[in-house]
Amino acid sequence: MAASRFFILLAFLLPAFNFAVARVLTPAPESPTVFKFKYHNGKLLTGRVAVNLIWYGRFKPSQKAVVADFIAAVQSPPSDQAQPSAATWWRTAQSYYYNGRGGASVSFYLGKQVSDENCSLGKSLTARQLRRLAVTHAGDRPNSINVVLTSSDVAVEGFCSSRCGTHGAVSGGRKNKNLQIPYIWVGNSETQCPGQCAWPFHRPIYGPQTPPLVAPNNDVGVDGMVVTLAGLLAGTATNPFGDGYYQGPPEAPLEASSACPGIFGKGAYPGYAGELLKDPATGGSYNAHGVKGRRHLLPALYNPTTKSCFTLT
């Protein structure tokens, strides 16, 4: 009977699509990207959108707080945060709406949080299982993004070898089979591949071996997850269903963040993340203030107005 229920579940999950991956966080490339961004006439996310967090595996309360505070910081008014701020960073993603045809604006708020500490689908997940988790654990409500966050002891198909996270869309399910729900997956790379998915908080596997930076929240794995999540959140807003803003082939698009790899501050080059701020008490490097005194390192975003990579510092 359990097996039957499993196959019924898969039957009403329509085919899902991965539109972009957050590739390994290698240092900035030698040659800058030639920008040829295009709007492909698709739908963008608009209005108030809930960001639901699905914690798969064991996470400390302090780790959950870092991610939850980042989501809160993105939607908080810039005037409520010290500058440069996460909210100001998000304004660059908002500029796609002002320049384009997709809608007026989008804002995020922290929705439900679901914990699956016992790893109901095991500790080795396929891409299909990630999509299943995104729907079954957080539901299929419209105007939402379901984010699956896997702990450091959970292996995911393609993790480390080709990606640190991904975003796409999956059908709602039995009641809302025609509704496409955007989803994001991000993995904690602290023990599996910090040199690939937690740079610049760890020495990179490839490229110049410069000393790693101190993570702003003293957690290499989770601070690296915030970098990946931030980039994927921008990609989800501006290219949620594969026909929004991107350049290159649709099966491997460069989006708002992935078009500016390895860049966090002005003057970035291979092995150097750019000019950043440093916390005098902890030595942590950051470029954005958040809520509750939190600090974050956020990736550069392609600015469609200036046609260049935008950084906060």
Per-residue pLDDT tens over the stretch 106-133:
889 999 999 999 999 999 999 999 999 9
The average pLDDT across 57-80 equals: 93
Residue 144: how many other CB atoms lie within 10 Å? 21
Q: Give one DSSP letter per residue of 145-180, joined into a string.
A: EEEEEE-TT-EETTBTTTBSEEEEEEE--SS-TTPE
Q: Looking at residue 136, what is its pLDDT?
A: 87
Pairing assessment for the beta strands 245-246 and 180-187 based on DSSP bridges: unpaired
The two structure tokens encoding residue 267: 């003057």
Sign of CA pseudo-dihedral 230, 108, 61, 117: negative
pLDDT over threshold 50, residue 1? no
pLDDT value of position 197: 93
- At 274, is the secondary structure helix, strand, or coil? coil
Q: What are phi and psi of 151, to 5 degrees?
A: -75, 170
pLDDT class for 94, splitting at 50, 70, 90? confident
Mean pLDDT of 205-234: 94
Is 168 domain-assigned? yes
Residue 309, Cβ density class (10 Å: 0-12 exposed, 13-18 middle, ≥19 buried):
buried
66 is a domain residue: yes
Token representation of residue 225: 């997850």
| Higher pLDDT among residues 207 and 225, named by residue | 225
Residue 2 lies in a domain: no
pLDDT tier at 214, thresholds 50, 70, 90: very high
User: How many C-beta atoms lie closer than 10 Å to residue 213's C-beta?
Assistant: 21
Closest by CA position to 304, among listed 249, 238, 232, 227 = 238
Q: Domain for residue 76, yes or no? A: yes
Cβ neighbors of 115 (< 8 A, separation 6 or more) are: 55, 59
List, for residues 7-26, the tens digit of each pLDDT value: 222 222 333 445 565 555 55
Instruction: Look at residue 204 in the predicted model and tell me its pLDDT.
Output: 86
Q: What SS3 state is found at 127?
A: helix
Structural domain for 52, as ranges: 14-310
The reported pLDDT for the residue numbered 113 is 96
Is 5 a domain residue? Answer: no
In whole angstroms, what is the distance from residue 200 CA to residue 221 CA?
A: 11
Residue 220, in any domain of the structure: yes
Q: What is the pLDDT of residue 24?
A: 54
Residue 223: how many other CB atoms lie within 10 Å: 27
Map residue 229 onto helix, strand or coil.
Answer: helix
1 part of a folded domain: no
Per the structure, the count of domains in the chain is: 1
Could you give the count of Cα atoms lying within 13 Å of 294 in the half-sphere of its Cβ?
A: 26
The pLDDT score that the predictor gives to residue 10 is: 27
Q: Using one digit for the tens of pLDDT, what is the confidence trace for 148-188?
A: 999 999 999 999 988 999 999 987 655 666 788 999 999 99
The answer to the question of residue 231 being in a domain is yes
Burial class (CB in 10 A: 0-12, 13-18, 19+), 211: exposed
In whole angstroms, how far apart are CA 220 and each of 24, 27, 113, 195? 15, 16, 22, 10
The whole-chain average pLDDT of the chain stands at 86
Q: Please state, in angstroms and as integers, the Cα–Cα distance from residue 76 to each residue in 73, 85, 87, 297, following that order.
A: 5, 10, 6, 17
Average pLDDT over residues 276-303: 96
Higher pLDDT pick, 297 / 44: 297
Q: Where are the alpha helices (DSSP H) in 122-275?
A: 127-136, 194-197, 220-238
